[in-house]
Structure 1
Amino acid sequence: MAWDGRNRYINLMPRSLRWHSLWHTYRYYLYGMSIVYGIVGLIAIGYCLSNYEQYKTEKAELLTLLENPQYQSIEKQYEDIASVKNKILKNSSGKNKKPIFQNTIVLYVLDIAMEQGISLQHLNIKDEHISVDGIGHSDEACRKFIASLQQRLIGMDCHGTVKADQGIYTFHMEGSKGEHNTSSREDSNDHTSVGHHH
């Protein structure tokens, strides 16, 4: 091979030695990067294991809750209430519009009861008069339900009482349509009654 003398520096080091030289020069940097990646990998593995353990714990708690008789009883009550609501909506969507006022009140009562955790024992609507009996988890919850219902039932005068017996809070509420609104509603003798028992 001819050489004209212009290339003064020729690297005659074998390729394997060049790689070895690079490794020797940057070995501490590479060691550090390996350690960093190793730590990150361990943290990621630990995070995954922790999440999996949390998932198993939450799953076990959910299964325990689903098997709880009290939870099953509450779920059954809500299913019954939802079934009543669906029947009312189905009846209201047909040609029979006469009991729509009573149906609207029933939906109001059921919605508020489900929202506030009230267990309804009796609901009666007749001749624009309503009476409700139920159970709440506290005196305040019962009074809140009565107040919420009074606020929702515009044009009706409602009043109620709350009783406590051995930690069980029951209430009775009655309401009637105000005289000044009598002519604006259609009079009806229809009777709507819903009962739920423990």
Structure 2
Amino acid sequence: MATDSEKTRRRYDRIAPFFDGLEGVLEGLFFSRWRKNLWSQARGPDILEVGVGTGKNFPLYPENVRITAIDFSPKMLEQARKKRDRRSIEVDLEQMDVESLCYADNSFDTVIATFVFCSVPKPKKGLQELYRVCKPGGQVLLLEHVLSSNKIMAALMKLMKPLVQSLFGADITRQTVKNVQACPFQKVQQLPGSSDMIKLIRAVK
């Protein structure tokens, strides 16, 4: 029987060729602005992007830093490699699961992920890995959609969860802020631009 990680990987492999198109409207209207906001906070010299997907964040990469980007879906990485080569982006792409990162402790100044932890089968385990590979004094930056604090909206989101998850692989009912706060970070804050259901999070180790 396939594990949750394998099921999620297969789902993203299946939609990889169409992923940019599926989110095209939302990307243009909302997502790109939030991504730009988050990436403006990134600091090097060593940055890890988790869940690079098709490489939507490539245009936002800061200059004069070393960037490593991972994804657990080989088909998503295939799209990212094509985009990297076409645009001559300086980034080292690796296939890896955020729940089990193959990096030493205290490796990166900034660890960043955009719309990733809605799809990680064991999000708390993944967040612990981000904490582990982040350098002391470094930061973890997250852009995530979370369960609404409005009871009616939250009920609707829970009702829509199976459909959204089957189409995009995303669990829209996660409570990522609380999960980050459960990690031993020195400081966790919601950055300007956050809303009820969209959170820009900065956690300092």
User: Which bin holds the TM-score, normalised by the shorter protein?
Assistant: under 0.3
**Higher relative contact order, structure no. (Cα contacts within 8 Å, ≥ 6 residues apart):** 2
Greater helix fraction, Structure 1 or Structure 2: 1
Give TM-score, length-normalised by structure 2: 0.25
Give the TM-score normalised by structure 1. 0.26
> Which of 1 and 2 has greater Rg?
1
